[in-house]
């Protein structure tokens, strides 16, 4: 890369950063119901209640599986802001590591996208869970129990592309996590089901293709489409294509859920994410058409014939299963 090209790229990135910063200032603060650490504080309080021997479902707003409270229990020993700062540092570290693995790519486009920025702002966990899964493969299975919607996207590809030893270790670790949860709270499944929102409640936040499925047809559509999509996701050779396809049909999504695709977010996906957010009036509570990110990523599969990929990805876990 010559010096002039480098300066142009630096200017483009600086302008993009300034533009996104302006959008953040004018949109995130416009909604007084969503504040900094909105979700993180819920998880942090659930972890503290678990450490105190109480039900984490007594923490207002906690509707996740118990493994999420288990994961937050250690960091809930820290003050809330200190714990969030550690979470942000760890997530940014994972994002930079991911960009480094993908032929030295720039993580800034993902960081400037709406789903990733909003994830860090409210302290959601989809992004760090997905990035961890990308790094350690099936060993992430116990962590993914904390967010079934992330597991829906990540697990099928690993089931086919990982070897038997990796799968055995991951499944054993997941079983260990479940045993720990039942030891801590024998009736946690009933507590979770009682706290969990209804399908109709979840559908208010749809941000993938289910956004356009009428409520009355949603359940039938899920039963028909989900098995087909899971098989297709496991069959696709590249993890990028598998995760993007599965995200499009994930039964439960929110406005930040596309952050699981952060590894492949480039300038186009970054711009589309903000267009989708602004298209719903910068309102975060009823979802947004964030499926445009997955569609843009999938379009690369059909653009290969027009030119080479930017660089080879270095998937550490794309090993065929042992025969």
Residue 19's pLDDT is 58
Banded pLDDT at 216 (limits 50, 70, 90): confident
Each residue of 263-274: pLDDT tens digit?
Answer: 999 889 999 999
Residue 101's pLDDT is 77
Residue 214's pLDDT is 79
Q: Which residue has the higher pLDDT, 102 or 281?
A: 281
Residue 241, both tokens: 């294509």
Could you give the CA distance from residue 89 to residue 16 in angstroms, rounded to a whole number? 22
Spell out a b/e string for 219-241, using b for 16 or more CB atoms within 10 Å of the CB, else e.
eebbeeeeeebbeebbebeebbb
CB 44 within 8 A of CB 83: yes
Residue 22's pLDDT is 55
Banded pLDDT at 198 (limits 50, 70, 90): low
**Mean pLDDT taken over the chain:** 84
* Section 284-298 average pLDDT: 91
Each residue of 115-152: pLDDT tens digit?
Answer: 998 999 899 999 999 999 999 999 999 999 999 999 99
Q: Which residue has the higher pLDDT, 171 or 320?
A: 171
For the cut 50, the answer to whether the pLDDT of residue 321 exceeds it is no
Could you give the CA distance from residue 271 to residue 233 in angstroms, rounded to a whole number? 26
pTM confidence score: 0.86
Each residue of 69-85: pLDDT tens digit?
Answer: 999 999 999 999 999 99
**Chain centroid to CA 256:** 7
Q: Which residue has the higher pLDDT, 223 or 322?
A: 223
Report the percentage of the chain scoring pLDDT > 90: 59
């Amino acid at each position: 890369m010559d010096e002039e090209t480098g300066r142009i790229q630096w200017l483009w990135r600086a302008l993009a950063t300034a533009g996104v910063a302006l959008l953040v200032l004018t949109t995130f603060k416009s909604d007084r119901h969503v504040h900094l650490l909105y979700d993180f504080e819920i998880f942090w309080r659930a972890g503290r209640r678990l450490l105190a021997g109480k039900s984490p479902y007594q923490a207002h707003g906690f509707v996740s599986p118990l493994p999420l409270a288990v994961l937050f229990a250690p960091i809930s020993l820290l003050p809330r802001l200190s714990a969030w700062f550690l979470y942000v540092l760890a997530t940014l570290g994972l994002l930079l590591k991911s960009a480094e693995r993908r032929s030295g790519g720039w993580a800034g486009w993902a960081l400037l996208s709406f789903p990733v920025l909003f994830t860090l702002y409210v302290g959601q966990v989809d992004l760090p869970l997905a990035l961890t899964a990308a790094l350690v493969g099936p060993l992430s299975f116990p962590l993914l129990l904390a967010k079934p919607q992330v597991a829906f996207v990540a697990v099928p590809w690993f089931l086919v592309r990982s070897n038997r030893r990796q799968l055995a270790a991951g499944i054993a670790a997941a079983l260990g996590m479940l045993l720990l949860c039942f030891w801590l709270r024998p009736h946690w499944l009933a507590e979770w089901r009682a706290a969990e929102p209804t399908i109709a409640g979840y559908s208010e936040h749809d941000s993938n293709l289910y956004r356009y499925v009428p409520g009355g047809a949603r359940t039938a559509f899920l039963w028909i489409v989900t098995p087909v999509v899971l098989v297709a996701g496991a069959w696709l050779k590249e993890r990028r294509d598998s995760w993007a396809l599965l995200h499009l049909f994930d039964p439960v999504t929110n406005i930040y859920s596309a952050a699981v695709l952060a590894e492949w977010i480039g300038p186009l996906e970054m711009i589309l994410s903000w267009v989708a957010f602004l298209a719903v009036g910068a309102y975060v509570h009823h979802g947004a058409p964030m499926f445009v990110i997955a569609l843009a990523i999938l379009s690369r599969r059909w653009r290969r014939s027009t030119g080479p990929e930017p660089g080879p990805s270095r998937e550490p876990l794309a090993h065929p299963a042992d025969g």
